[in-house]
Amino acid sequence: MMIPSPNRLPLFLTAIVLLMASFCSGAAFAQNGPDYTTGSSQNNENICDRCKKPLLGGYIKAEGYKFHPECFLCSKCGKPITGSFQHKDGDFYHPDCYKEKMGLVCARCGKLLGQKWQVLGDQKFHAECLKQHLQQNHLICGICNKPITGKYTKDNSGSYHIECLRNYKLAKCAVCERPIEGRMIIDPWGNKAHEKHGDHETITCSSCMRIISDKTSKGGFRYS
């Protein structure tokens, strides 16, 4: 059975994050059994491959090996194998025991991996665990969920591509409709604008003084 060899993924996380390789998917491993066969012997011709004693009566045959039923044991936990098994280099394992032995556990949650997994560098993850790992370590955008491959910005909720932050997270200026970065001004009705628009003229209602359009007026500004 072949275990996928993880691709090396160089990561440089400073003010700029470079993701030089894509994520890999781990291949599923095949489980053998419970298609082993049983046989019966009444002479000393058949020998158990574990205890080397004659197989008299019923025995188990698996992958060309023969065992007394009580000798067909998992090489990791030592308990009997009664169903599916994994075979490697003459040893037999329960499927979960084999995963533990081969390091097929998630690097984030520590639980056994299923039939498929994701590989990042030399670590293996459940798909959802990898997503959480990348978000926590600022390697994936918290808005579009795609890898960060250049400059990025972050807040307490996560990290973001610059354009994703501007287009989907930052407030839009009520005057020029561009994203507001840095200081802003807010009128009494909650309209936000760049600080530079503080003296911008707009049309207001003569009765209530609220702005008639979506733009902001110069009256009643306060600094946030």
Instruction: Kindly report the three-state secondary structure assignment for every residue of 82-124.
Output: CCCEEEECCEEECHHHHHHHCCCECCCCCCECCCCEEEECCEE
Phi, psi dihedrals of residue 128, rounded to the nearest 5°: -70, -35
> Tell me: domain 37-100, CATH 2.40.50.140, correct?
no
Q: Which residue ranges make up each domain of the chain?
A: 37-100, 171-224
How confident is the model at residue 202, as a pLDDT? 53
Highest mean pLDDT among 1-5, 58-62, 129-133, 206-210: 58-62
Mean pLDDT of the chain: 70
CA-to-CA distance for 217 and 209, rounded, in angstroms? 9
Question: What is the tens place of the pLDDT at every residue in 64-92?
Answer: 888 888 999 998 888 998 888 888 878 89
Q: Per-residue pLDDT for 33 more than 50?
A: no
- Alpha helix ranges (H) inside the chain: 95-101, 127-136, 162-164
**CB distance 106 to 116 below 8 Å:** no
Please tell me the distance from the alpha carbon of residue 60 to that of residue 79, in angstroms, as a whole number. Answer: 15
Reported residue count of the chain is: 224
Dist. CA 166–CA 178, nearest whole Å? 8
Quick: pLDDT tens for 52-66: 998 887 888 888 888
Return the structure tokens found at 112.
Answer: 């056994």
